[in-house]
Structure 1
């Protein structure tokens, strides 16, 4: 057995036998499922109804708001137009009502646009105020049309409702929101890679720092080369991480299935929807759902899965080399913080580029460039693949990624070789550059 395989085996066994690793492996799925079930339970609970007092001196709008009480709204409007205004304001201060909508009397319709007030102790939500404004605006518009002797019913019938259907150049009918689904699929895979890099890259760095501070590394270096030790740590930690992810997936899916079957718990926000409503929605959306399923099957599923594996391996090894070099250069995790920001920034940048650029223009210049840059390609390219990326672009991106990986490993190994036996002094960026020349 080669030296690297022995180091991989040692690193893997050390990680999986660690008590914190074992505890978090089996505790994390319980926490995730518990949080999901709790969210489902909260979403099924009916929100507290907030009482809104209305003091309408004009008498024009109060009926419009009272009709809103039949819509199972979170807000209940009360007609208190005959109650003294000062008393109502005192009631708001005493929190008897959520708020008071005060509509003064006016002879001119135009005056209502700026004189209506909402009085409350706490600032209301923007959506609530917009709904109130819409009710008042619709009523004023209707009154203005009637004063102008215009037929409001005819105007309502004359209003056009446009529903544009999507069709491909081949003649096949398409569906709306497909780009959002594609970016969601690519984003999920990209986010998984980013989390794996951050979690287990830090684990590689901590492992190097622990062995360095305990002086165990001095004994290990006497038998193996620093490069072999670094690669063994990276691969061993990756295998332990993959095992942990696999256990999480199995336990999480099993717990969700058990909760839904044996306890009748609907995990997720859909638990608040009644079965009758769900059945009606399913019957209405059958044709659309079939079209969505057809579009999903037409996605380059093989390219997505293969690309995920390739970019998962390339991205993890690339960034783990940085983490290992940082761990060798410092004596404790506190000193490592100054070197971690340049590593985290490309990952964060790739997420922003993916969600704000790829979704709007997946084949644009910015998306293509960032899908080629090795530090951002594992995430950006995975977000582009569901939109259909030419194989030559993927080939160039993968070549650059692994070419950069081998270059970074070579540079990281030089830093690792010097830094692994350096103690007591926090290195600077200039000193790290000098180490590359040794």
Structure 2
């Protein structure tokens, strides 16, 4: 294996010195940050938009319900009739007119409220108006039935069932969400890394094969060494590119937000008023505290090491299969017939992780798929935050490494024959014949 370091170095330098690689390494963060900045800027403009809503309340029940907010001003037009109110709102170019018609009974309110506007109103604005009216109507009906609001509030109880394992470990519903998010992000990163850089390895093999350079290289290097060198070298180039994206993207995000005065947090709160009301609701602070506690209680060290090992193992396993496909075909068009069998286990792993792990992380389906090497990198990473015994993690990792070694042997067999085959589309039957050579 004395040629392996030279092959790795050659593959790495060839990739990082490639003009398109350099351009995309620095251009991709610029494009991404530009898109984020544009969306944030537009969201900020939308959230900062000042709206004036006129209210014509013929019942007189809702005069004190509509309080001005930072971005919304309510104007009373109770002294006007409907036609005059509409004409005035159109003349002033206000956001809209809320008309509450006169009613005989409070029960008829639902069919006697209309909102007039030039254009379709915002969903968040309409929801806010509906909640305000519903709350006042509810209070009025309770008073009519002789029930005081104080009695209602005194009888209300918020129940939060505590969760605790038999060993005394406390958990919560919010903790399950935090764990799912971590596992989902880890699985998604692995999925995208395999798709992007697995294809890069496959294209590299195809390019050298079609340019006939490979015929010179294999005269002094064993196919298995060449294949491993390509996988490791391209992987290192991918890691380099990913690291540059993270660093450059973070720096650009700070610079853009500082220079342009854009609050990138607006992307997370497109409907700021609704979010603010939700956070002010009773129990919101307790939920936030539970989330913080669950984050601090995560097995961070275990998660870090598991992420590294399963991420690397899963990527190497799929990369060897991508390299085998590249060796078996002459162009990227011919790769389509072989891509589906490779992508299906990866897609299946994502679906199992999302739809099964969150519901039953220690169930039969989740456990079995976390041991199958083609799905374990994703499923096991999503299970670990929920607490997986170390022996299961170790066994899954051993199976993954063993399968990778088998995949390297399998791919090398195809590689040895396929790199010298030209002008013919191989079939699955022919690939199995190559394994006997």
TM range (shorter): 0.7 to 0.9
Structure 2 distance, partners of 1:173, 1:389, is: 16
RMSD (Å) for aligned C-alpha atoms: 4.0
Q: TM-score, normalised by structure 2?
A: 0.80
Between stretches 90-99 and 131-140, larger displacement belongs to 90-99
After TM superposition, give the deviation of residue 213 of structure 1 in Å.
1.9
After TM superposition, give the deviation of residue 398 of structure 1 in Å.
1.3
Deviations 1:109-137 (A, max 9, x none): 33222343344565545544333333232
Structure 1 partner of 2:206? 209
Q: TM-score, normalised by structure 1?
A: 0.80
Structure 1 distance, partners of 2:153, 2:286, is: 28
Matched, 1:58 2:59: yes
Distance 1:79 1:288, change over 3 A: closer
Structure 1 distance, partners of 2:310, 2:30, is: 29
After TM superposition, give the deviation of residue 298 of structure 1 in Å.
4.0
Structure 2 distance, partners of 1:43, 1:2, is: 57
1:117 alignment partner, SS class: strand
Equivalent pair of 1:64/1:135 in contact (CA under 8 Å): no
After TM superposition, give the deviation of residue 319 of structure 1 in Å.
0.7
1:374 alignment partner, SS class: coil
Matched, 1:143 2:144: no
Equivalent pair of 2:360/2:366 in contact (CA under 8 Å): yes
Equivalent pair of 1:166/1:176 in contact (CA under 8 Å): no
Distance 1:86 1:418, change over 3 A: farther
Structure 2 partner of 1:10? 10
Deviations 1:224-282 (A, max 9, x none): 33333222211111122223333444445556677889999876459999xxx9xxx9x
Structure 2 distance, partners of 1:260, 1:138, is: 39
Matched, 1:239 2:236: yes
Structure 2 counterpart of 1:156, from 152, 160, 164: 152
Q: Which runs of 5+ in 1 are unaligned?
A: none
1:101 alignment partner, SS class: strand
Between stretches 386-395 and 42-51, larger displacement belongs to 42-51
Structure 2 distance, partners of 1:264, 1:188, is: 29
Map 1:26-425 → 2, pairs under 5 A: 26-31=26-31, 46-61=47-62, 63-65=63-65, 67-68=66-67, 70-72=68-70, 74-80=71-77, 83=80, 85=82, 96-120=93-117, 122-148=119-145, 150-162=146-158, 164=160, 166=162, 168=164, 177-252=174-249, 268-269=265-266, 295-425=294-424
After TM superposition, give the deviation of residue 100 of structure 1 in Å.
4.2
Structure 2 distance, partners of 1:379, 1:111, is: 55
Equivalent pair of 1:314/1:402 in contact (CA under 8 Å): yes
Q: Which runs of 5+ in 2 are unaligned?
A: none
Deviations 1:181-228 (A, max 9, x none): 223333333332222212211110111111122222232233333333
Equivalent pair of 1:40/1:271 in contact (CA under 8 Å): no
2:304 alignment partner, SS class: helix
Structure 1 partner of 2:23? 23
Q: How many residues align?
A: 424
